[in-house]
Structure 1
Amino acid sequence: VRRMRGSFYVAGPLLTRFGEAQVPLPGGCVIGSRPVDFHVRGFKALGAKVDEKYGVMHAKADRLVGTRIDMDPRLRSVGATVNLMLAATMAQGTTIIENASREPEVVDCQQFLAACGARIDGIGTTTLRITGVERLTGTEWSAIPDRMEAGTFLIAGALTRGDVTVTPAEPERLRIVTDMLVQAGCDVSISENAVRLRMDKRPEAVDVMTAPYPGYPTDLQPNTGVLMSVAKGTSVIEETIFDARFNYVDELLRMGADVRVMEGAAIFKGVPQLFGAPVVATDIRAGAALILAGLCAEGATEISGASLVDRGYEDITGKLKGLGAQIEMLPEADAETSDAECLL
């Protein structure tokens, strides 16, 4: 849990099934403030007694009881929506969650729970009405394709002036990303479960603002920043979700980018060429962005801390090699410090 924030999601299921959960407070990527107070307030609203001591959250309840939970409409927290939704599935009575996240991955989780016997009304909307059941049953389920992985490879194709087809994909859920790529000058073609991108020129500058789904995904903001760093013209990227999401910019500056960060936004003045340099990945998405920067840079780029990327991308080096990239993941010296290096 200390290193993977998503592991805090076990709290809701443990609490609703066993009446108690003791979970270390999470760590995760250094991308800004992401407190778990949304989760804790929700557990308390459901009737749990919650203590936070010595870095551990301890929640206890004989049985959770349905209630109304109002989430912050500006953020529509993905993690809190999932955790509270999981907790409410077996709570006594009905729970209403307002301003719930609509991210496709959250909707997929809702549909999975419904297949397991959960009673959830409002699937795919910002208002969920969950009527608790006594037990859930097993089922078979295939998770939806990863939008962030798909978007990363499409942007990689745009940066390297390549020809990339991503499949399986859900093109409609990638629409805001593919629209940005078309504005940048890419040739994008869409079929039922695949997206193909072709690019043969320097990209055009495009302004982007992140927002909860169906807005532009914050997890693709760093990759988009790399694309804008080599675009023709000046672009502005506004970050509305995570206050430290621009921590990759200092590393891009080492590679010759021209970027100025202000509060909540960054101005990218496109340069014709990036140059290889030793850089450091501080989180999953920053690491992926630096890999993309290395792909289009002149010379070799060495990325320290690259093992972070493996938490969000399965075999990214192998897939990039399949597309023609010259990339190698060097072994970790110490798994606890995540100091594996990636050489491009």
Structure 2
Amino acid sequence: MSSFVIKGKKSLNGNVEVSGAKNEVLKLIPLSLILSKPISIDNSPEIEDVKKQLELLRLLGGEYQFEGSQLRLNSQNITNFTLNRELSTKLRASIVYTGPLLSRFKRANIFCPGGCAIGLRSIDSHLDAFRQCGVEISHEANGSYFLEAKKNEGEVSIQMAEKSVTATENIILYLAKSSLVATISNFAREPEVMDLIRIINLAGGRINENSDGFLRIEGVEDLSVERVSALPDRIEAGTFALAIALTGGSGTVSPYIEKDLRSFTKVIRDCNVNISVKDDVAYIEKSDDIKPFVIETAPYPGFPTDLQSPMSLLAAKANGKSIIREKMFDNRLGYLKQLQKMGLKVEMVGPNEAQIFGPTDFVSCNVESPDLRSGITLLIAALMAQGESIIEKAQIIDRGYEKVEQKLNNLGAQIIRREDAV
């Protein structure tokens, strides 16, 4: 267990380099199970969630090496199709091993995944998609799910129950190396999903979107690619851009891929955040007279749910009432109770809508990080506040942000990590 001790009223100035996309690398690791040769992944962040995913790979029988930001994977000797229960229940992305295990062994034994406490996130959409591919599923007495592929050739049509990123990736990883031809509708289109498709096609896959907007997958016998690079983490890019603006600083964030952050960038520009983007570099200047806003989270290309929580801080700087509607996950606004301790003025309209009244000057406080995205929001709020704040359970932030205190301290923050007695 660890805590962050933060001295407030520190403006952030300078240049910050964005790490590789957590939500892509977590899926590229299971991809290695369906490749016929080892793979190297450049721009891989060395964060806690990636470490857990790699440990799951090792327990299956795979091998890995981390050198700087390059991750080398070798899954050639894996013979086990059962995921480790303890680790699976601590990591949401563990569910994405299901597709590759089914593809390789025609069987998979999995457990319900864990992750951030941000509302109910069942695996029903995953199981439903697999059933539409002819996979038989049983719920075992020990709480695991046993899946067995029964349909080994022919065509299948899959209607995704929801635009779930992980369910879309899971079914793609199952079908890419198979004897099936599949048509998928209502699939997720997040940049990380589309880049996974690009990498599979680079390895010899046959996946494309047809003129009707359906995803068509023709399974192939062999997939192999030696080296790829993960996208920059768009959520980290947006978070750091906001952090600089919220603390009254100026600086650059790179890489900042504007097409992947179009909805977010438009909203903050409309709020008078002084941001411009050129050649994948975001330039942020001191921003005054912030305007209130209304946002509603949605699947890509809508407003990303993972950037919803730091927007509450922009609402606190705005002159007037802002509204945040969380449409992706139930009860993801629970972190606002922590911000209320720091002075946030908020009224809840049910569990998934908040009205925030600004402007507000935050005060220092001891708070606890409830989940990954809320944790980084509390950290930025502490930088905005007067005095010294403490954020407990800092290790939760480590799950998704690489060297976060080092990056922020390089911009002028004063953050000390304190290891707490268990």
Provide the TM-score with structure 1 as the length reference. Answer: 0.92
Higher relative contact order (CA 8 A, sep 6+): 2
Task: Show the counterpart of 1:45.
Answer: 132
| Aligned partner letter, 2:272 | G
Is 1:82–1:106's contact at 8 Å kept on the other side of the alignment?
yes
* Structure 1 residue 64 displacement after superposition: 4.5
Name the CA shift for 1:333/1:26 in 2 (closer, same or farther; >3 Å).
Answer: farther
* Structure 1 residue 185 displacement after superposition: 1.5
Task: Show the counterpart of 1:338.
Answer: none
| 2:123 pairs with 1:36 | yes
| 2:367 pairs with 1:279 | yes
> Which of 175, 184, 197 pairs up with 1:97?
184
Q: Tell me the alpha carbon deviations over residues 116-169 of structure 1, each in whole angstroms, 9 at most, x when there is no partner.
A: 111101189952100111121123111111110000001101210111311112
Name the CA shift for 1:197/1:124 in 2 (closer, same or farther; >3 Å).
Answer: farther
| 2:295 pairs with 1:211 | no
Unaligned runs of 5+ in 2: 1-87
| 2:392 pairs with 1:304 | yes
> Which of 215, 223, 227 pairs up with 2:310?
223
2:320 and 2:208 map into 1 onto residues whose CA distance is 47
Q: Which moved more, 1:83-92 or 1:125-134?
A: 125-134
Q: Tell me the alpha carbon deviations over residues 280-301 of structure 1, each in whole angstroms, 9 at most, x when there is no partner.
A: 1111111111111111111112
Structure ranking higher in strand proportion: 2
| Runs of 4+, deviation exceeding 4 Å | 62-66, 123-126
| 2:357 pairs with 1:269 | yes
> Which of 66, 71, 74 pairs up with 2:160?
71
Task: Show the counterpart of 1:134.
Answer: 221
Is 1:63–1:91's contact at 8 Å kept on the other side of the alignment?
no
Q: Which moved more, 1:61-70 or 1:44-53?
A: 61-70
* Structure 1 residue 85 displacement after superposition: 0.8
Is the partner of 1:113 in helix, strand or coil?
helix
* Structure 1 residue 63 displacement after superposition: 5.7
* Structure 1 residue 208 displacement after superposition: 1.1
Matches within 5 A, 1:1-344: 1-53=88-140, 54-61=142-149, 64-65=152-153, 66-72=155-161, 75-122=162-209, 127-263=214-350, 264-331=352-419, 333-334=421-422
Q: Which moved more, 1:120-129 or 1:188-197?
A: 120-129
RMSD, matched Cα: 1.8
Q: Tell me the alpha carbon deviations over residues 228-285 of structure 1, each in whole angstroms, 9 at most, x when there is no partner.
A: 1232111111111111110111001111101112233110001330111111111111
2:366 and 2:413 map into 1 onto residues whose CA distance is 18
Is 1:19–1:60's contact at 8 Å kept on the other side of the alignment?
yes
2:239 and 2:226 map into 1 onto residues whose CA distance is 31
1:310 and 1:126 map into 2 onto residues whose CA distance is 37
Task: Show the counterpart of 2:75.
Answer: none
2:390 and 2:138 map into 1 onto residues whose CA distance is 44
* Structure 1 residue 52 displacement after superposition: 2.2
Is 1:158–1:203's contact at 8 Å kept on the other side of the alignment?
no
Provide the TM-score with structure 2 as the length reference. Answer: 0.75
Is the partner of 1:28 in helix, strand or coil?
coil
Is 1:257–1:271's contact at 8 Å kept on the other side of the alignment?
no
2:365 and 2:170 map into 1 onto residues whose CA distance is 40
Q: Which moved more, 1:115-124 or 1:308-317?
A: 115-124
2:230 and 2:213 map into 1 onto residues whose CA distance is 21
2:143 and 2:317 map into 1 onto residues whose CA distance is 43
Task: Show the counterpart of 1:342.
Answer: none
Task: Show the counterpart of 2:16.
Answer: none
2:149 and 2:365 map into 1 onto residues whose CA distance is 53
